[in-house]
Amino acid sequence: MNSPSEASGIGSVHDLVAGFWSTLPGSHAHDPLPSQAALWISLLTLVATLLLMASIVILHLRNGWVERRRKRWSDLWLLQLLDPEEHGAIAPIRIPQFVPFALLWNHVHDSMRGEMRRSLIKLSRKAGAADLALERLQRGSMAEKILSATFLGNHLDNDAVVALSAFASSSDPFLSLPCARALVKIAPTIQLPRLLPDFLRREDWPFPLVHDILSTVDPDILSSHLPGVLLRWYPEPSPRAIRSLALVHEDVRTSLIDAIFQRTTPPSPEAEAALLREIHDPAQLPLVRRGLESPHWSVIVAALNRLVNMGSREDVPRLTELLGHKEWWVRYRAARVLVMLPDMKPIEVELLATRHADRYGREMLRYALAERNLQ
């Protein structure tokens, strides 16, 4: 039972609360209905705000605890990966530990080479991480699937090929591309011929990432399979696919460019510009000069960019004509080539800058001369 003093205190608090409540608009039964509704809405809003603030505090405390736990794991794993003899073997990896372990392991793996990489793979397999990654690839969240694909590719895990192949053909680019990358890492001679058309054709796979993947493949392997894919592409390979010519041997690149230009149907302006950008062999200078006659300014610009390193005095008449072209980029590139020609004397360029019939051509040539002098 409460003592008289306690009962008195409780009664005082009750009276204080009751008195405060009675002063609020809408707290009496005879008050208008809108006032009562406003009061209860305000009270519910206050309660919801307090609950939200409590949830934020609890979530913050929980996240801090999770982050401290992950840091303890990561600090120990890093020591065990780099010096297992001193710090012991890695304990079996559990599902809650998989994401932080895989992120750390991938980072360390990408920083190492040779025997150290093989040691990392061995330590990870002993901890059961590879088997767990295969299970997460099939049943985990999207983030876990993407991480597992990279993890299994770095492990060169042949047991994962079937699962990775199923996801590599999916329409989701965020998952399919990491799975395709992993397959090429695991078995390039087998997987590259199958996946190469997708690498070149799938517009939802960013080409910079595709370029990074293909650049890790042995040029001999890529040079043996890329020509077949491009030559079977009708009416012509896309500009995206043509950009992959930079990754093959020079003789293969030259032969492919010649073969595409020799088709009965001439390439589109976009494809022709892409082909000209890939020319490096001086023997293909006639193709570059032919590009200067194109009615499409993008093709002319691509040819002029190649002519900077291949041109000679023979090209001066055509370059002089292009100084009067209606497109600014053509005038600029033509002036730049004239200035950079190895057998063109500076005095000749200066005279041309004063005598050219087109005012815009004269201005562009002076601009190119000033630009060269500043280099």
Q: Which of 167, 186, 205 is the last residue of a domain?
A: 186
Distance from C-alpha of 58 to C-alpha of 56, rounded to nearest angstrom = 5
Query: Tokens 């200066």 label which residue?
Result: 350
Q: Which of 146, 171, 186 is the last residue of a domain?
A: 186
Q: Structurally, how many domains does the chain consist of?
A: 2
Nearest partner of 195 among 179, 173, 206, 207, judged by Cα: 179
DSSP state of 217: S
Residue 262 counted as domain residue: no
Helical residues (DSSP H) of 238-355, grouped into ranges: 239-242, 250-261, 269-277, 285-291, 297-310, 316-322, 328-340, 346-355
Residue 374 counted as domain residue: yes
Residue 211 counted as domain residue: no
Collect the ranges in the chain with pLDDT lower than 50.
Answer: none
Distance from C-alpha of 182 to C-alpha of 161, rounded to nearest angstrom = 9
Nearest partner of 129 among 104, 163, 161, judged by Cα: 104
Residue 138 counted as domain residue: yes
Distance from C-alpha of 290 to C-alpha of 300, rounded to nearest angstrom = 9
Q: Which of 162, 186, 210 is the last residue of a domain?
A: 186
Nearest partner of 108 among 124, 92, 93, 96, judged by Cα: 124
Residue 367: the pLDDT is 87
Burial of 341 (0-12, 13-18, 19+ CB in 10 A): buried
Residue 24 counted as domain residue: no
Residue 360: the pLDDT is 85
Residue 120 counted as domain residue: yes
pTM of the model: 0.77
Domain span holding position 369: 311-375
Helical residues (DSSP H) of 4-126, grouped into ranges: 4-23, 33-82, 84-87, 95-111, 115-126
Residue 287 counted as domain residue: no
